[in-house]
Amino acid sequence: MKPFNISIEYTTLSNGLKVVIAPDASAPVVTVGVYYKIGFRLEPRGRSGFAHLFEHMMFQGSANAPKMQHIKLINSSGGVLNGSTHYDVTNYFEAVPSNALERILWLEADRMRALKVDDENLRNQRDVVKEEVRVNVLNQPYGGFPWLDLPPIAFRNWANAHNFYGDFADLDAANLADVQSFFKTYYTPNNAVLLIVGDVKSNEGIALAQKYFESIPAGAAPPFADPREPQQTEERRGEVEEKFGTLPAMAIGYTIPARRTPEWCAMSLLEQALHGGRAGRIYRELVLEKQIAVEADGGIDDLFGYNGPTQMVTRILHKPEYSREQTLAAFDAVLENVQRSGLSADELQQLKVKFRSDYFSTLESGHGAMPRFGLMHLLACFSLFDNEPQLVNTILEGFLAVKPEEIQTVANKYLRPANRAIVFRQPVAQAKEAA
Amino acid sequence: MATPAPEVHTTVPPLAPERAVTWPKRAKTRLSNGLEVVLAESHAIPKFHGELFFRSGNAAAAHRSTGLAEITATVARTGTSKRTSRQLEEDLRRIGADLSTSAGSDNSAIAFAGLSEFAEPLLALVNELAREATFPEPEFERERRQKLEEVKLDRTQPGFLASERLRKVLFGAHPYGVVAPTQEQVAAYKRDDLLSVYRDFYTPENAVLLLVGDFQPQAMLDTIEKIFSPWTGKKPEIPPSPEPPRPRGRRVQLVHFPGAVQTQILAGCHAITRKNPDWIKLGLTNSIYGGAFNSRLVMNIREAKGYTYSPRSGVTPLRQHGYFSISAAVRNEVVAASLTEIFYELDKLRALPVPEPELADARNYLSGVFSLGLATQDGLLSQLATVALNNLPDDYLETYREKVRALTPDDLLATARKYLDSANMQIVVVGDRTQVQPQAALFGEVEVFDAHGKRLH
């Protein structure tokens, strides 16, 4: 095994902005990100979907870069850009030839300092977001399954349980005052981290960060809703109608151990034993051997990128000739096998090699082929959640140290009916032939 | 804590001098059995990415049945003379590798990625799949039944229905006119059909092996030579395809999707292949029209009007023919309004030269984004695949950016007039006919189909 070490420079500016530089001059490109510690979980009640709608507003203009300028300046510098909203963070990122670095930092600083948007921008992006929800959820077979279906069934705390894409009534109710107050509360330098990854020297990166960001005033420490869940004591089930798809589907979610604990590492490897592509036990049993299911996959979404209650989710589309109870029984049999017999030393060894290999790929790219997107994402999350971006160099060790008996222990402790939620997605009975 | 002097920079910083873009040297060779090999180093992570391409796909098997190359690729990974399906999957995991087999219109492929320390066992496994797949009967039967469910599911996806219909209208009886088999065709697949496609297509004379990653090229070439040189086989004979129709006049094909809460628009016309000398010109024209976030179409129907989330345009370069297309999923009330803007922007590009500053931005965009592909193993691999599969010149990567930067407003005007064929654009809309048919009818004669391709009246 080759040694692997990413060089990292980490500092905090006087206004509280965290700055992480990971220099690598092997190609003349640089990936820049700004992550704010605000996501779906923390959006205000009555404003479901607001964190995501707000993310769109961040592209609508700032004090010195009016609407259309932001996108135009990045594209015309030879770069690509995007943003995304997660449970606990919202990010804005771009990959550009490295000669555009200073320009990108200026743009990010300008919108961190002063968002400048109006009612027309808000109406426009509300329309765009509704079409986004339609194209990804409402007009697609199995749209939103299970990422939007499961949380309301699995969780009791509104922070974890509401519709993250937003009810249309809530999107319509959002106004410009909401936008400005959300910005003022959460989009402060002291609630953010700036990442510069790629073709930059550490000292130059830090100097540029100071030049453009250090004069942005710090804000008050933002309030954070408590995302903790009451102890679950019973299996939870729910139903969602499937409007277009032809196959019955179900998703089963188990709440997993707290992040960065030995149990979390064991659970992550166990999850790979269960899912892990065509070698995974669930796919092998349900799709290849018993042939009950047409699709069976799952995992822990964005393993390093959340900071609150989360689930390992299995997603199954099964043949109509098998009932949901038969399908679920076949799934349960896979889990019972691990609970009873654990994993062999050989299987665990395979999983560790694959985990290491996947980890390297995560670091190298992501989000299309954006260079080192994954490295940026992990550096950001480890900075905001742990104040320790250097974890990218050591986090792997915990997974490689997992022992077979730990796997069996978490299988028995966490993969219990009283720790799970199930959503059934049932195709509507009506004939869909043309009138 | 001292407060820093408030210093606000109000103007856009200029671009710094560009650092040279240096593409890694490629090691190229052809083994005595005809297998073409291209390697490039990339040491960002201790892994490598590779793809073994066969220059024949579903189109080359279309006279036998639809989608035959694809089902052949699917079943090829389910057993070899040395390993069962389960052993193959576990052996891949044991060396930390990912592998997929697939086929498109023009090529079949085994794509893989793994740790550098296990390069040899992974290449040996790829070699085994290319030469010694056994197509076990029960595996074939299972995959065939899986495929049946997949083709049913496809028909519930607006995006699939739109592209299926556009291909049909642009390519007719040419193999590119069909994108997926019917249930009846899948039900009629036989194991022997797959075996004969495998025998014919999966040969070294028909293949190119590309590898990018953390390795020493000479040592890797030696390993490849050792593993792949005993393989033998000729190029397949492929019957010629019929000429596609050249539909004239704007026509509208409406695929009725009852209950749709949004309408998928897809419009397209014939264009060019990658080998055409106009390719880069059309690429730049497309990026100004709808190929970039900062493009005219996106700024118009998304950022100004809010009709859609994801408008885009692109050129699809198949080997024998290429086509240009525009897609947008819009709310039902603005189907006509969206099409009006789609054609307005097309006609504007055909009528007026692109202003020089806008062109300069687009040139920078296309050449900058091209160099991002340099920074990842996967990105570099896909660039090498473009060159190898289209037989482009060796200096394609090195000269692409200069060629983009040399283009003028006149070049783009001529290109738009030649290829953005506004008058003969074929329009597909997938939506609820009760809501969208009158709007669609404003743009041409409307034919209505159900999700299975049956004409509705």
User: How large is the ipTM?
Assistant: 0.95
Contact between B360 and A76 using a beta-carbon 8 Å cutoff: yes
Contact between A131 and B4 using a beta-carbon 8 Å cutoff: no
Contact between B6 and A215 using a beta-carbon 8 Å cutoff: yes
Asked whether the predicted pLDDT for residue A2 surpasses 70, the reply is no
Domain B26-228: which topology?
Cytochrome Bc1 Complex; Chain A, domain 1 (3.30.830)
Cβ atoms of A53 and A40 within 8 Å: the answer is no
Model pTM? 0.96
Closest chain B residue by Cα to residue A218? B3
Per residue in B205-250, pLDDT tens? 999 999 999 999 999 999 999 999 999 999 999 999 999 999 999 9
Residue B379, token pair as written in the block: 């990105």
Contact between A75 and B294 using a beta-carbon 8 Å cutoff: yes
Residue whose entry in the numeric block shows the structure tokens 């296309």: B366
CB nearest to B294's CB, from A71, A245, A291: A71
Contact between A364 and B45 using a beta-carbon 8 Å cutoff: yes
What's CA B212's distance to the chain center, in Å? 20
- Taking only residues 248 to 287 of chain B, the set having a beta carbon closer than 8 angstroms to any beta carbon of chain A reads 256, 258-262
Cβ contacts of A392 on chain B, cutoff 8 Å: none
Contact between B308 and A128 using a beta-carbon 8 Å cutoff: yes
CATH number of the domain residue A20 falls in:
3.30.830.10
Contact between A291 and B114 using a beta-carbon 8 Å cutoff: no
Q: Which of A357, A359, A370 to mutate to test the interface with B (most CBs of B within 10 A)?
A: A357
**Gap between the Cα atoms of B237 and B415, Å rounded:** 35
In which region does residue B224 sit, left (phi positive, over 0), alpha (psi from -120 to 50) or beta (all else)? alpha
Cβ contacts of B20 on chain A, cutoff 8 Å: 28
Asked whether the predicted pLDDT for residue B92 surpasses 70, the reply is yes
Contact between B379 and A365 using a beta-carbon 8 Å cutoff: yes
Q: How far apart are the first and last CA of chain A?
A: 63
In which region does residue B18 sit, left (phi positive, over 0), alpha (psi from -120 to 50) or beta (all else)? beta
**Gap between the Cα atoms of B244 and B176, Å rounded:** 9
Rounded to a whole number of angstroms, the distance from the CA of B260 to the nearest CA of chain A is: 6
Asked whether the predicted pLDDT for residue B199 surpasses 90, the reply is yes
Per residue in B130-143, pLDDT tens? 999 999 999 999 99
CB nearest to A247's CB, from B4, B11, B149: B149
Q: Where are the alpha helices (DSSP H) in A243-305?
A: 262-274, 281-282
CB nearest to A99's CB, from B16, B294, B330: B16
Cβ atoms of B233 and B385 within 8 Å: the answer is no
Per residue in A134-167, pLDDT tens? 999 999 999 999 999 999 999 999 999 999 999 9
* Listed residue (A334, A347, A343) closest to A405, CA to CA: A343
Listed in sequence order, the residues at least 6 apart from B43 whose beta carbon sits closer than 8 Å to its beta carbon are: A26, B213, B214
Cβ atoms of A160 and A151 within 8 Å: the answer is yes
Per residue in B348-395, pLDDT tens? 999 999 999 999 999 999 999 999 988 999 999 999 999 999 999 999
Q: What's the domain count of chain A?
A: 2
Mean pLDDT of B74-83: 98
Residue type, B109: A
**Gap between the Cα atoms of B124 and A250, Å rounded:** 39
- Report how far apart, in Å, the C-alpha atoms of A376 and of each of A275, A363, B122, B303 are: 26, 8, 29, 28
Reduced to 3 states (helix: H, G, I; strand: E, B; else coil), residue A315 is strand
Asked whether the predicted pLDDT for residue A11 surpasses 80, the reply is yes
Per residue in A104-134, pLDDT tens? 999 999 999 999 999 999 999 999 999 999 9
CATH of domain B251-456: 3.30.830.10
Say how many CA atoms lie within 13 Å of A435 toward its Cβ: 5
Mean pLDDT of B158-174: 98
Helix (H) / strand (E) element for A92: namely strand A90-97
**Gap between the Cα atoms of A130 and A125, Å rounded:** 8
**Gap between the Cα atoms of A147 and A149, Å rounded:** 6
Mean pLDDT of B293-319: 97
Cβ contacts of A127 on chain B, cutoff 8 Å: 306-307, 331
CB nearest to A102's CB, from B1, B16, B292: B16
Whether residues A72 and A37 share a domain: the answer is: yes
Q: Give the pLDDT of residue A225.
A: 84
Reduced to 3 states (helix: H, G, I; strand: E, B; else coil), residue B153 is helix
What's CA A333's distance to the chain center, in Å? 30
Whether residues A204 and A242 share a domain: the answer is: no
**Gap between the Cα atoms of B186 and B66, Å rounded:** 8
Q: pLDDT class for A432, splitting at 50, 70, 90?
A: very low
Contact between A76 and B9 using a beta-carbon 8 Å cutoff: no
Numbers of helices and strands, H then E, in chain B: 16, 13
**Gap between the Cα atoms of A137 and A131, Å rounded:** 10
Contact between A80 and B293 using a beta-carbon 8 Å cutoff: yes
Q: What is the DSSP string of B70-128?
A: HHHHHHHTTBBSS-BHHHHHHHHHHTT-EEEEEE-SS-EEEEEEEEGGGHHHHHHHHHH
CB of B21 less than 8 A from some CB of A: yes
**Gap between the Cα atoms of A104 and A100, Å rounded:** 6
Reduced to 3 states (helix: H, G, I; strand: E, B; else coil), residue B173 is coil
Contact between A353 and B375 using a beta-carbon 8 Å cutoff: no
Whether residues A175 and A291 share a domain: the answer is: no
Asked whether the predicted pLDDT for residue A1 surpasses 60, the reply is no
Q: Give the pLDDT of residue B124.
A: 98
Whether residues A42 and A81 share a domain: the answer is: yes
- Taking only residues 155 to 184 of chain B, the set having a beta carbon closer than 8 angstroms to any beta carbon of chain A reads 156-158
Asked whether the predicted pLDDT for residue B164 surpasses 50, the reply is yes
DSSP structural state of residue B214: S
Q: What is the DSSP string of A200-252?
A: --HHHHHHHHHHHHTTSPP-PPPP----PPPPP-S-EEEEEEESS-SS-EEEE
Cβ atoms of A106 and A89 within 8 Å: the answer is no
* Listed residue (A390, A377, A28) closest to A195, CA to CA: A377
* Listed residue (A79, A314, A107, A318) closest to A199, CA to CA: A79
Asked whether the predicted pLDDT for residue B5 surpasses 60, the reply is no
Which domain range does residue A19 map to? 9-213
Mean pLDDT of B167-191: 98
Listed in sequence order, the residues at least 6 apart from B390 whose beta carbon sits closer than 8 Å to its beta carbon are: B273, B274, B275, B317, B319
Asked whether the predicted pLDDT for residue B454 surpasses 50, the reply is yes
Whether residues A22 and A163 share a domain: the answer is: yes
Using only C-alpha atoms, chain A has a radius of gyration, in whole angstroms, of: 23
Q: What is the DSSP string of A5-63?
A: ----EEEE-TTS-EEEEEE-TTSSEEEEEEEES--GGGSPTT-TTHHHHHHHHTTSEET
Cβ atoms of B354 and B416 within 8 Å: the answer is no
Q: What is the largest CA-CA distance in chain A?
A: 68
**Gap between the Cα atoms of B304 and B9, Å rounded:** 28
Q: Give the pLDDT of residue B257.
A: 96
Closest chain B residue by Cα to residue A24? B44
Q: Give the pLDDT of residue A433.
A: 38
Whether residues A161 and A244 share a domain: the answer is: no
Q: Give the pLDDT of residue A434.
A: 33
The answer to the question of residue A128 being in a domain is yes
Reduced to 3 states (helix: H, G, I; strand: E, B; else coil), residue B19 is coil
Q: Give the pLDDT of residue A3.
A: 62
Contact between A76 and B92 using a beta-carbon 8 Å cutoff: no
Whether residues A185 and A325 share a domain: the answer is: no
Whether residues A95 and A175 share a domain: the answer is: yes
Beta bridge partners of B263: B330
Whether residues A160 and A95 share a domain: the answer is: yes
Work out the burial of residue A186: count CB atoms within 10 Å of its CB; fewer than 13 is exposed, 13-18 middle, 19 or more buried. buried
Contact between A24 and B259 using a beta-carbon 8 Å cutoff: no
- Report how far apart, in Å, the C-alpha atoms of B291 and of each of A207, B296, B313 are: 35, 9, 5
Residue contacts between A and B (CB atoms, under 8 Å) = 257
Q: Give the pLDDT of residue A431.
A: 40
Cβ atoms of A242 and A141 within 8 Å: the answer is yes
The answer to the question of residue A412 being in a domain is yes
Residue A353, token pair as written in the block: 């090699």
Q: pLDDT class for A224, splitting at 50, 70, 90?
A: confident
Whether residues A209 and A245 share a domain: the answer is: no
Whether residues A261 and A202 share a domain: the answer is: no
Parallel, antiparallel, or unpaired for β A65-66 and B251-256?
unpaired
Beta bridge partners of B354: none
Rounded to a whole number of angstroms, the distance from the CA of A107 to the nearest CA of chain B is: 8
Beta bridge partners of B312: B327
Rounded to a whole number of angstroms, the distance from the CA of B65 to the nearest CA of chain A is: 23
Looking at chain B, the domain(s) classified CATH 3.30.830.10 span 26-228, 251-456
- Report how far apart, in Å, the C-alpha atoms of A192 and of each of A90, A115, A187, A197 are: 10, 16, 7, 16
Q: How far apart are the first and last CA of chain B?
A: 76
Q: Give the pLDDT of residue B6.
A: 59
Whether residues A245 and A206 share a domain: the answer is: no
